[in-house]
Amino acid sequence: MAVEGLRCKECKSAYPLDARYFCEECFGPLEVSYDHSGLDPAGARRKIQAGSAGIWRYADFLPFEGGPPATRTALEPGLTPLIRADRLAERLGLGEVWVKNDAANPTHSFKDRVVGVAVAKAVELGFDTLACASTGNLANAVAAHAAAAGLDSYVFVPADLEEQKLLATDVYGTELVGVKGTYDDVNRLCTELCEARPWAFVNVNLRPYYSEGSKTVAYEIVEQLGWSLPDRVVCPIASGSLFTRIGRGFDEWRGLGLVDGELPAFSGAQAEGCGPVAQAFAEGWEICKPARPDTIAKSLAIGDPADGPYALELARRTGGEVEAVSDQEIRDGIRLLAETTGLFTETAGGVTIATLRKLAEAGRIDPAERVVVVVTGEGLKTLDATRDGFSMSEIEPTIAAFEAVVEPTATTAA
């Protein structure tokens, strides 16, 4: 059994594998610890490649005893495409850019990974009700995966969330609760409810297990690059959990001999309207000053990121950085990715692509680097963000009208 227990990230105190999320000694966050001593790298690779077409192929590196969890549904996430984006690279003057498209997951975001792990662990621990605080994508995933597993669910979101995400959550039969306030207000409410209700809050009392699902992004990148590492990862930062867990996934496999090479440089992407980690990086702080969110990138609008200090440490340790981009740069990033790859990303992906562009134009990415950009969600979830740039020619049904109206416009644009 590789999984050992829970351990405090700060003081290293040990705890059993139950539903808890903070250290009773120092109040630090808990994470899952493993013992992979004696692992044979070649044998592990063969076992992975013979496994399922999703995250359960990595079950030996996830927080379950004895392999894949007993509770698995048809919504297994993972093995999303890693697409070589040569036209995007050419547009930005870079040599090799890959897009990890996690919009290809069951509910069209990377949150399916973390929820898949959390649901299986919730059932293992005896819970019958799932809950979460969400900025949108997590709401979709919790509602869908709870329905697939036959669990009741409660989803708490800011009341002003994008309509597309609300509709795509309610359809699964969850109890959808809109809270008048920011995500941080929602999260505080859920932390209080966690103590008052016998529910599995995936990003509160199950957070140590939930966050482990993000490591599978790193595992897939290594596999899809032929068991090798990129030179740089550009990834959005909300709470900072995805950013840091991708780093942990690479580090685990490097330490176990499944992949060779240096840890990639980690470049974090935030919106200027909610960029506490970017501000802390720029100012040289060790902790993040809470921010009041005001950005179109609502899925990243976490003003007090739980893993912000760890994201800062990872960026600095690997020679990376954390940048913030404006709402207009986010819109432009969405369009740039669409025009060069045919992928339509939500606003979080626009933040990531805009940050990639900003770093490339500033000469902070060596053209010889192999860069992986993490796109976390589907553009159909945030349609309003692209409304301002929408255009359509309207003509009479004649060739003359087409030649008079459309062709001159197309020629000018070209």
- 186-211 pLDDT tens trace: 999 999 999 999 999 999 999 999 99
**Residue where the block lists tokens 């509910």:** 107
Convert the pLDDT of each residue in 260-276 to its tens digit.
Answer: 999 999 999 999 999 99
Q: What is the mean pLDDT of the chain?
A: 94
What is the CATH number for 159?
Answer: 3.40.50.1100
Residue 273 located in a structural domain: yes
Same domain assignment for residues 225 and 272:
yes
**Residue where the block lists tokens 């991708």:** 246
Compute the C-alpha angle 103/154/169, nearest 5°.
Answer: 35
pLDDT the model gives residue 192? 96
pLDDT the model gives residue 412? 56
Is residue 414 scored above 80 in pLDDT? no
pLDDT the model gives residue 68? 76
For residues 298 and 159, give the distance between their C-alpha atoms in angstroms, rounded to a whole number.
Answer: 12
What is the DSSP-derived secondary structure letter of residue 330?
H
Into how many domains does the chain fold?
A: 2
Three-state DSSP state, 267: strand
Determine how β-strand 30-34 pairs with β-strand 321-325: unpaired
Convert the pLDDT of each residue in 16-58 to its tens digit.
Answer: 999 999 999 999 999 999 999 989 999 999 999 999 999 999 9
Is residue 133 scored above 80 in pLDDT? yes
Residue 397 located in a structural domain: no
**Residue where the block lists tokens 């902070």:** 364
Least confident window among 72-81, 93-102, 209-218: 72-81
Same domain assignment for residues 188 and 225:
no
Is residue 181 scored above 90 in pLDDT? yes
For residues 268 and 373, give the distance between their C-alpha atoms in angstroms, rounded to a whole number.
Answer: 10
pLDDT the model gives residue 1? 60
For residues 7 and 126, give the distance between their C-alpha atoms in angstroms, rounded to a whole number.
Answer: 22
Same domain assignment for residues 205 and 217:
no
For residues 331 and 350, give the distance between their C-alpha atoms in angstroms, rounded to a whole number.
Answer: 6
Last residue of a domain, one of 209, 230, 258: 209
Is residue 410 scored above 80 in pLDDT? no
pLDDT the model gives residue 316? 98
High-pLDDT (> 70) share of the chain, % = 98
Distances (CA, A) of 152 to 30, 116, 123, 188: 26, 15, 12, 21
Is residue 359 scored above 60 in pLDDT? yes
Convert the pLDDT of each residue in 373-406 to its tens digit.
Answer: 999 999 999 988 888 888 888 989 999 999 998 8
Residue 246 located in a structural domain: yes
Is residue 413 scored above 70 in pLDDT? no
Host H or E run for residue 235: strand 232-236
Contact between 298 and 235 under an 8 Å Cβ cutoff? The reply is: no
Q: What is the number of alpha carbons within 13 Å of residue 273 lying toward its C-beta?
A: 18
pLDDT the model gives residue 291? 94
Same domain assignment for residues 96 and 131:
no
| Nearest residue to 135 via CA among 104, 175, 101, 178 | 178
pLDDT the model gives residue 323? 98
Same domain assignment for residues 333 and 369:
yes
pLDDT the model gives residue 393? 86
Tokens of residue 380, six digits: 């159909």
Convert the pLDDT of each residue in 298-332 to its tens digit.
Answer: 999 999 999 999 999 999 999 999 999 999 999 99
- In 287-403, the DSSP E strands lie at 321-325, 370-375
Tokens of residue 67, six digits: 């392999």
Q: What is the DSSP string of 109-120?
A: BTHHHHHHHHHH
Helix, strand, coil content of the chain in percent (nearest 5):
45, 15, 40
High-pLDDT (> 90) share of the chain, % = 89
Three-state DSSP state, 372: strand
Residue 205 located in a structural domain: yes
| DSSP H helices in 71-202 | 86-92, 111-124, 137-149, 163-170, 183-196
Same domain assignment for residues 380 and 245:
yes
For residues 397 and 79, give the distance between their C-alpha atoms in angstroms, rounded to a whole number.
Answer: 45
**Structural domain boundaries enclosing 315:** 82-108+211-389
Contact between 262 and 229 under an 8 Å Cβ cutoff? The reply is: yes
Last residue of a domain, one of 188, 209, 230: 209
Residue 31 located in a structural domain: no
pLDDT the model gives residue 400? 94
Three-state DSSP state, 375: strand
